[in-house]
């Protein structure tokens, strides 16, 4: 059977990083603005109750912050959204904590840190904070996290005919693991997707999988060193290669091709005009 073309609308975007607090600020950096004098401290997503937020690890706060921004920008109730969360590297700070503790004489782990260490902790905090009872997937794809998860989200959006929140996030890697997983920058990015037939404003994106070839990741057009390092080292920042399709102010590229697996690639194409 031939692979079907996938189509859905991107309705809104959320984003957070050291030098941007939202999608507008990220676009300015990508277009060449200088980074600010001070780094943002970790995000404090308002939707997580204060007592929970204090205990929430950075990956959770990153993911929930950008998810909340995208949901607000789309002006849709969060509980109406099925969600897919992805991190390429997981919470290495908690892995580091657990492995150090377990390598010591006293192996008692904090129960809160243990349950926060599950890969779906961000999805859990999101669904608990927003009272969302829809399906929440939590996936990993290492270097291909972005392409695999976009594909997964579009398939789910179209096959279940539901609006969908997809959130990409990765936090800086703990020191011991730095030599093999180089990321030093926090990053989170969210998209709200609707089925192509939905009566809502958005950018129509089509996706096609191609076989027996592995495309390289696109070169990112950015003169900003911070953005270039982010793109190179943070697996989920590879979503920035999709930026040309998300804003008219970038060069007129309408097609972005990404590697999907050893033997496949995926092409995302923007349909002309807004629909």
Partner 1 sequence: MNIDIIDYESCSAAGINLAALRVSLRQHKSGLIKNDLPDSALNTWIGRVEQVDAIDDLQQWQSRNNALAALGLEQGAIKQTLANLTKKYGSARIGIVMGSSTSSIDRTETAYTDLDTNGELKPKFRQPLVHNPHAPSLFVAHYTGLTGPSLTINTACSSSAKVFATGARWLEFGIVDAVLVGGVDTLCLSVLHGFNSLQLLSENPCKPFDQHRDGINLGEASGFAILQRGTENTNSSGIRLTGYGESSDAHHMSHPHPDGLGAKMSMTQALQRAQLPPDAIDYINLHGTSSRANDLIEGRLVSELFPRTTLCSSTKAWMGHTLGAAGITEAIIAMDTLKTNTIPGSMNLETLDQALDFSIQATDQQRVCQHVMTNSFGFGGNNCTLLFSRVG
CB of 176 to partner 1, least distance (A): 6
> Vertex 8, ends 241 and 138: CA angle to 5°?
70
If the CB atoms of residues 21 and 215 are measured against partner 1, the closer one turns out to be 215
CB of 136 to partner 1, least distance (A): 5
Range in contact with partner 1 (rule: CB under 8 A) among 12-20, 42-50, 67-75, 119-127: 119-127
If the CB atoms of residues 95 and 271 are measured against partner 1, the closer one turns out to be 95
Using CB under 8 A as the binding rule, whether residue 4 contacts partner 1 is answered as yes
Stretch (H or E) spanning 101: helix 92-102
Range in contact with partner 1 (rule: CB under 8 A) among 43-51, 197-205, 242-250, 257-265: 257-265
CB of 195 to partner 1, least distance (A): 13
Binding mask 126-145 for partner 1 (x = CB under 8 A): -xx-xxxxxxxxxxxxx--x
The phi-psi region of residue 161 (left if phi > 0; otherwise alpha if psi is between -120 and 50; otherwise beta) is left
Tokens (6 digits) for 68? 């909340």
DSSP 8-class letter at 20 = B
List the interface residues with partner 1, window 88-117 (CB under 8 A).
88-90, 95, 98-100, 102-103, 107-111, 114-117
Own/partner pairs, 54-58, CB within 8 angstroms, 24+ separation = 55/112, 55/116, 56/116, 56/125, 57/91, 57/93, 57/94, 57/116, 57/121, 57/171, 58/91, 58/93, 58/171, 58/186
Cα–Cα distance between 219 and 232 in angstroms, integer?
10
Binding residues for partner 1, rule: CB under 8 A, are: 1-4, 6, 79, 87-90, 95, 98-100, 102-103, 107-111, 114-121, 123-125, 127-128, 130-142, 145, 148-149, 151-152, 155-156, 158-159, 176-177, 179-181, 209, 211-212, 260-264
């Amino acid at each position: 059977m031939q692979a079907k073309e996938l189509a859905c609308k991107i309705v809104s975007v959320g984003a957070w990083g050291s030098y941007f607090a939202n999608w507008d600020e990220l676009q300015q950096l990508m277009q060449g603005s200088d980074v600010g004098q001070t780094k943002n401290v970790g995000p404090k997503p308002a939707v997580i109750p204060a007592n929970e937020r204090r205990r929430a690890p950075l990956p959770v706060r990153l993911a929930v912050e950008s998810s909340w921004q995208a949901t607000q920008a789309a002006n849709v109730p969060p509980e109406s959204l099925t969600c897919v969360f992805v991190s390429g590297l997981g919470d290495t700070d908690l892995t580091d904590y657990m492995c150090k503790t377990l390598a010591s004489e006293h192996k008692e782990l904090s129960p809160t840190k243990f349950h926060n260490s599950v890969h779906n902790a961000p999805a859990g905090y999101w669904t608990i904070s927003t009272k969302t009872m829809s399906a929440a997937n939590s996936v990993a794809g290492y270097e291909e996290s972005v392409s695999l998860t976009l594909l997964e989200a579009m398939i789910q959006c179209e096959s279940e005919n539901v609006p969908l929140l997809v959130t990409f996030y990765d936090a800086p890697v703990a020191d011991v693991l730095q030599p093999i997983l180089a990321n030093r920058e926090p990053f989170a990015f969210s998209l709200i997707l609707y089925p192509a037939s939905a009566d809502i404003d958005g950018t129509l994106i089509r996706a096609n999988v191609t076989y027996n070839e592995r495309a390289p990741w696109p070169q990112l057009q950015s003169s900003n060193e911070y953005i270039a390092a982010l793109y190179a080292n943070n697996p989920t920042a590879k979503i920035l290669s999709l930026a040309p399709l998300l804003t008219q102010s970038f060069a007129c590229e309408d097609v972005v091709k990404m590697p999907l697996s050893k033997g496949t690639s995926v092409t995302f194409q923007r349909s002309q005009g807004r629909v």
